[in-house]
Amino acid sequence: MSAHRPTHKTSAKRIRERQRGMHLFTGALLIAYVYLPASSGSLFEVAIRWVVLPLLVVDGVLMWQWPKVRRFARQLAAHR
Protein backbone atom coordinates (compact mmCIF):
# COMPACT_ATOMS: atom_id res chain seq x y z
CA MET A 1 0.00 0.00 0.00
CA SER A 2 1.64 3.21 -1.12
CA ALA A 3 0.88 6.56 0.40
CA HIS A 4 -0.17 9.35 -1.92
CA ARG A 5 2.48 12.06 -1.87
CA PRO A 6 1.07 15.46 -2.79
CA THR A 7 3.04 17.46 -5.28
CA HIS A 8 3.82 21.05 -4.41
CA LYS A 9 3.83 22.22 -7.97
CA THR A 10 2.09 25.56 -8.21
CA SER A 11 -0.54 25.77 -10.91
CA ALA A 12 -0.48 28.45 -13.58
CA LYS A 13 -3.72 29.87 -12.23
CA ARG A 14 -2.24 30.21 -8.76
CA ILE A 15 0.85 31.93 -10.16
CA ARG A 16 -1.32 34.42 -12.07
CA GLU A 17 -3.41 35.13 -8.97
CA ARG A 18 -0.32 35.83 -6.88
CA GLN A 19 1.23 37.94 -9.63
CA ARG A 20 -1.92 40.03 -10.03
CA GLY A 21 -2.15 40.49 -6.26
CA MET A 22 1.44 41.73 -6.04
CA HIS A 23 0.90 43.99 -9.04
CA LEU A 24 -2.17 45.54 -7.43
CA PHE A 25 -0.36 45.93 -4.10
CA THR A 26 2.64 47.68 -5.65
CA GLY A 27 0.30 49.83 -7.74
CA ALA A 28 -1.52 50.86 -4.55
CA LEU A 29 1.80 51.82 -2.96
CA LEU A 30 2.63 53.92 -6.00
CA ILE A 31 -0.75 55.67 -5.80
CA ALA A 32 -0.13 56.35 -2.09
CA TYR A 33 3.25 57.85 -2.97
CA VAL A 34 1.72 60.16 -5.56
CA TYR A 35 -1.27 61.34 -3.51
CA LEU A 36 0.00 61.34 0.09
CA PRO A 37 2.38 64.04 1.31
CA ALA A 38 5.80 62.67 2.21
CA SER A 39 8.94 64.36 3.37
CA SER A 40 11.78 64.42 0.89
CA GLY A 41 14.27 61.62 1.41
CA SER A 42 11.96 59.56 3.61
CA LEU A 43 12.34 55.78 3.73
CA PHE A 44 8.94 55.42 2.04
CA GLU A 45 10.05 57.62 -0.85
CA VAL A 46 13.32 55.71 -1.28
CA ALA A 47 11.49 52.36 -1.16
CA ILE A 48 8.97 53.50 -3.78
CA ARG A 49 11.63 54.91 -6.08
CA TRP A 50 14.19 52.08 -5.90
CA VAL A 51 12.15 48.96 -5.03
CA VAL A 52 8.42 49.27 -5.70
CA LEU A 53 8.47 51.08 -9.04
CA PRO A 54 11.06 48.77 -10.65
CA LEU A 55 9.18 45.71 -9.34
CA LEU A 56 5.93 47.09 -10.73
CA VAL A 57 7.49 47.59 -14.17
CA VAL A 58 9.14 44.14 -14.25
CA ASP A 59 5.95 42.47 -13.02
CA GLY A 60 3.86 44.24 -15.66
CA VAL A 61 6.22 43.15 -18.43
CA LEU A 62 6.23 39.58 -17.10
CA MET A 63 2.42 39.47 -17.07
CA TRP A 64 2.35 40.87 -20.59
CA GLN A 65 5.01 38.53 -22.00
CA TRP A 66 4.48 35.46 -19.76
CA PRO A 67 4.11 32.88 -22.58
CA LYS A 68 7.39 34.01 -24.14
CA VAL A 69 9.16 34.01 -20.77
CA ARG A 70 7.89 30.49 -20.04
CA ARG A 71 9.07 29.20 -23.45
CA PHE A 72 12.47 30.78 -22.92
CA ALA A 73 12.77 29.21 -19.45
CA ARG A 74 11.87 25.79 -20.88
CA GLN A 75 14.51 26.18 -23.58
CA LEU A 76 17.13 27.03 -20.96
CA ALA A 77 16.11 24.03 -18.85
CA ALA A 78 16.30 21.72 -21.88
CA HIS A 79 19.88 22.76 -22.62
CA ARG A 80 21.11 21.88 -19.13
pLDDT tens by residue, 60-69:
888 889 889 8
Which residues make Cβ contacts (< 8 Å) with residue 45, sequence separation at least 6? 33, 38, 39
Contacts (Cβ under 8 Å, ≥6 apart) of 69? 62
Is the whole model's pTM more than 0.75, yes or no?
no
pLDDT at 4: 56
pLDDT tens-digit map of 1-46: 555 555 566 787 888 898 889 889 988 988 888 888 766 778 888 8
Using the predicted structure, report yes or no on whether residue 58 has a pLDDT greater than 70. Answer: yes
